[in-house]
Amino acid sequence: MTLYHFGNCVALVYVPYYLTYKYSGLSEYGAFWKCIQAGGIYVFTQLCKMLILATFFPANDANGQDGMDFVGEFLKSTVDLADLGGLYLVLMGIPGKGHAKVLTAGIGWAGADILLSRFLLLWVGARGAEFDWIYIQKSLDSNISLVQHITTATLVWLWSRHDLNRSLLPVVSAMLLLCSYKFLLMELFVQATVSGPWVALLVRAIFTLCLGTTTLQIYAGFAQSIGIY
């Protein structure tokens, strides 16, 4: 049962990444090392964020007794805007068409995120003797993160285009802010509704699906207007 549980978690996490890379056409571009480079920039970005958080936003345990400190959490979530800068650097360093750039950046960024944030948890926890649904939830959440990171990379690429319709720029900018503050929004929702982890996972999936669908519509219209696919 332990190995079966662990195998299911690993499959849920890594198979979607492999299938996305293989069947999206990235393998034809030889983008594997570009994904590795994107992961390296992710690591550097997270280190910078940790230094900023440790310097300007030290942990305050007293706030946890009275509930969430909205101002403090908002300021901490603002640091996540650094991820947009990191994705911009990744996109600028990848040659090729738009879909290849955003997929390479998104998969590399998401892969590094999963490797650093969930790999150890699954390797140690999911191989334990006792079954726990939290590892299945984390595995499903990794798939949601893959879609989220690809969506964010697409929005950053659209925002960086000088030939993007100016009327769409405020929409793209607002969606980028939603991507940066999604964790804070999810925490507010959980506290407001007192919902469980499965409901929170479902809400995040719906939020990511809506954001990704809207981004896909904007990208498809823009790609058709300038003749790239």
Tens-level pLDDT at each residue, the chain (229 residues)? 555 555 667 677 777 777 787 777 777 777 788 889 999 999 999 999 989 888 887 665 555 445 567 777 788 888 889 999 999 999 998 877 778 889 999 999 998 998 888 777 776 766 665 667 777 888 888 899 999 999 999 999 999 998 888 889 999 999 999 998 988 888 888 777 767 888 888 989 999 999 999 999 999 988 888 776 5
Longest dimension (CA), the chain: 56
The 3-state secondary structure of the chain reads: CHHHHHHHHHHHHHHHHHHHHHHCCHHHHCCHHHHHHHHHHHHHHHHHHHHHHHHHCCCCCHHHHCCCCHHHHHHHHHCCHHHHHHHHHHHHCCCCCHHHHHHHHHHHHHHHHHHHHCHHHHHHHCCCCCCCHHHHHHHHHHHHHHHHHHHHHHHHHHHHCCCCCHHHHHHHHHHHHHHHCHHHHHHHHHHHHCCCHHHHHHHHHHHHHHHHHHHHHHHHHHHHHHCCC
Structure tokens at 6: 């662990």
CA pair distance 46, 149, nearest whole angstrom: 15
* Separation of alpha carbons 113 and 39, rounded Å: 8
Residue 38 in contact with residue 108, Cβ under 8 Å?
yes
d(CA 70, CA 62): 13
Q: What is the pTM of this model?
A: 0.87
